[in-house]
Chains A and B, each alone.
Chain A
């Protein structure tokens, strides 16, 4: 994957990972951001021309002050697609990225090819409240996000050296930036009315879900399926909320089977 920086019409500077050949496929990451290693992107790039833009406030992308609400995020998503010069790409959105991808597809239902929602945020079922991401302590994340919390914890910190205070402080500040941004559409309840707009989502949609997701449990996958006109659902074993990281091969195979 190579890295480049593009500027949207609104003025956000966006870092994009890009690689592969084939139909254009845009991967939209979740609230935690892209990890340093993303083997699933490399595997997707064996079949598609993959673009993975980082949201403002993530990595080197800027423009946080330009985005305040759900509409801003969704339009920003389309601004990125335009700035990349893409026409009707496939959209694959994970977690918060799935929430935004679904909104993008509701707004401009003819501007994408197929849609893949992966353990997506955006709905709220009162009987199954989603844990409060913003009040969690650092050590609580791995258990909620991964089928296997022990190897998950290592992925989360990306080999951070906890004896290096500066590195820990930088990590903390980076996290405040990322999650501060995510809070604009996820705090205090990760629901900005997507459910009432999903009738507009007419693209062919695959809902992929790590079966052991303890953050957004599979009951949410069922709810997405019932609200989206043309959707299929696949639950994937031995994977939690971070499905693409935890089971990259299974994840990519499921995407390939659906997208073609």
Chain B
């Protein structure tokens, strides 16, 4: 099993009446709610936490891309990842990811990911999301019905740019380049492991299987509701004749660990409710613009109950609901261990993106929860897939002799 410590980087100062006063945390959320001077401390706290997770022994540290979003302060996750690449040397740097249809030209992603892979000594996991409608269509203006086609073309350009050893001309529908010539190129060959965050589109299932990419389901609704979607994925894997390695799949899970079940509730309840109540307050008109989903996916009918129902319920959920209905995994190390096993086995996943920081959780609580997990839970979950223990296809292979800039370079002592 591989565990990646993930920070969404929410804005922790949304007011108490945020839901009543605003229609959405995303797209048209008033930017007067953001205070750059407080933001200075927030970014550093969140990046410190990611570095702490590396020190605790998490396999990966993860960041993602959102725009105009009150719970995701990383329009450019690559900037955060660059900081992490300099201040850690062990954990994989998991960027889930760059919405490749949004970069003009998309060769920019090939270049920046290559830079991250080189600086980190080959530790990059490269995510290529199609992007949510909020980010892709409403914030970044991409035409919904053409988004997937543009994504497909951007993917082709990036992969060819990484593979090619001579400049080539690329005559795309959305991007035309006379001289594609990626400098620098990634350390990892033929390319860094590629993860595709998906939300149930049939096309994305097949895309991952056909290219041997990891399919990551980044849900906030927990593993009970995630099962239907992941089952659909595994059925598709079998149907297309691929092996059933659990490392083909990843799942994001909110996790809160206390010394006891009761301590978990006392410490984390208000912060988890801040997340569900304020951070997930998304205007439904932004959730599914016509054309974003293909007709094939709509006809399969797997989406509605996963998205709308769950989203509508989020604001009213109590701690008890969240725990009992398994939106979150919370409690003592023993409780968390049992539920983690249920989740991992139930979804058949080899990777978990662990969300320990929630909403407006203070630094010390985030660290407390992460440390308990790393010390008392994670070691017991390591060998859940013994038959696949040598399967490293979806994990980076860093340089053996890479630098350890956070400890060995001149000035490192002082910086720590």
- Interchain CA distance A41-B405 in the complex, whole Å: 74
Q: Are B145 and A173 in contact (CB under 8 A)?
A: no
Q: Are A187 and B137 in contact (CB under 8 A)?
A: yes
> Per-residue CB proximity of A215-249 to B under 8 Å, as 1/0?
00000000000000000000000000000000000
Contact A137-B285, Cβ < 8 Å, known A176-B298, A181-B291: yes
A178 at the interface (CB under 8 A from B): yes
The count of residues in chain A whose C-beta lies closer than 8 Å to any C-beta of chain B is 22
Q: Are A187 and B285 in contact (CB under 8 A)?
A: no
Which of A68, A173, A176 neighbours the largest number of chain B CB atoms within 10 Å of its CB? A176
A-B CB pair tally, cutoff 8 Å: 61
Contact A183-B289, Cβ < 8 Å, known A137-B284, A177-B295, A188-B137: yes
- Given B143, B173, B283, B299, which contacts A135 in the complex, CB threshold below 8 Å? B283
B128 at the interface (CB under 8 A from A): no
Q: Are B141 and A188 in contact (CB under 8 A)?
A: yes
Closest to A177 in B: B295
> Per-residue CB proximity of A169-188 to B under 8 Å, as 1/0?
10011011111111110011
A134 at the interface (CB under 8 A from B): yes
B273 at the interface (CB under 8 A from A): no
- Interchain CA distance A177-B291 in the complex, whole Å: 6
Contact A180-B138, Cβ < 8 Å, known A169-B301, A187-B144: no
Chain B residues positioned under 8 Å from A132 (CB to CB): 285
Closest to A185 in B: B143
B293 at the interface (CB under 8 A from A): yes
- Given B173, B291, B295, B298, which contacts A183 in the complex, CB threshold below 8 Å? B291
Chain B residues positioned under 8 Å from A177 (CB to CB): 290, 295
Chain B residues positioned under 8 Å from A181 (CB to CB): 145, 291
B177 at the interface (CB under 8 A from A): no
A150 at the interface (CB under 8 A from B): no
Q: Are A134 and B301 in contact (CB under 8 A)?
A: no
B146 at the interface (CB under 8 A from A): yes
| B82 → A minimal CB distance (Å) | 31
- Given B173, B286, B290, which contacts A180 in the complex, CB threshold below 8 Å? B290
A136 at the interface (CB under 8 A from B): yes
Q: Are A175 and B290 in contact (CB under 8 A)?
A: yes
Closest to B298 in A: A173
| B312 → A minimal CB distance (Å) | 13
Closest to B139 in A: A188
| B25 → A minimal CB distance (Å) | 15
Chain A residues positioned under 8 Å from B293 (CB to CB): 176
Q: Are A135 and B298 in contact (CB under 8 A)?
A: no
Interface positions, chain B 124-146, Cβ under 8 Å from A, are: 137-138, 141, 143-146
Q: Are A180 and B145 in contact (CB under 8 A)?
A: yes
Q: Are A176 and B286 in contact (CB under 8 A)?
A: no
| B261 → A minimal CB distance (Å) | 40
Interface positions, chain A 128-171, Cβ under 8 Å from B, are: 132, 134-137, 169
Interface positions, chain B 298-334, Cβ under 8 Å from A, are: 298-299, 301
- Interchain CA distance A136-B289 in the complex, whole Å: 9
Chain A residues positioned under 8 Å from B173 (CB to CB): 68
Interface of A with B (CB < 8 Å)?
64, 68, 132, 134-137, 169, 172-173, 175-184, 187-188
Name 7 interchain pairs, CB-CB below 8 A, sorted by A.
A134-B137, A135-B286, A135-B289, A173-B298, A173-B299, A176-B298, A184-B291
| 7 shortest interchain CB distances as A-B pairs | A180-B291, A179-B290, A135-B285, A180-B145, A176-B290, A134-B289, A188-B141
